[in-house]
């Protein structure tokens, strides 16, 4: 997950992500409100995803990524 902190774009880089297994991305703000959801997210390159955060407010975001039965959680800070 980079750059962190960032401004208008979040880059996610995975390794060994199977295209046959759904990848779901949920983004919550610091208040716990869902601000963005991607179901069956398609990569922008080999094992790379890009999220557009340009409309989000500055602050802390929690990003949940689920691939098959594996779930990871990352924190990201948006700067202005």
Distance between CA atoms of residues 35 and 28, nearest Å: 6
Residues 2-56: tens digit of each pLDDT: 999 999 999 988 777 777 777 899 999 999 999 999 987 766 556 788 899 999 9
**Full-model pTM:** 0.85
Distance between CA atoms of residues 39 and 25, nearest Å: 7
């Amino acid at each position: 997950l980079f750059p962190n902190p960032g401004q208008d774009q979040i880059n996610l880089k995975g390794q060994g992500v199977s295209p046959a297994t759904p990848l779901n991305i949920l983004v919550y703000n610091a208040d716990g409100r869902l601000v963005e959801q991607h179901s069956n997210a398609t990569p922008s390159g080999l094992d790379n995803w890009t999220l557009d955060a340009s409309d989000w407010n500055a602050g802390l975001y929690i990003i949940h990524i689920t691939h098959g039965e594996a779930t990871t959680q990352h924190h990201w800070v948006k700067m202005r």
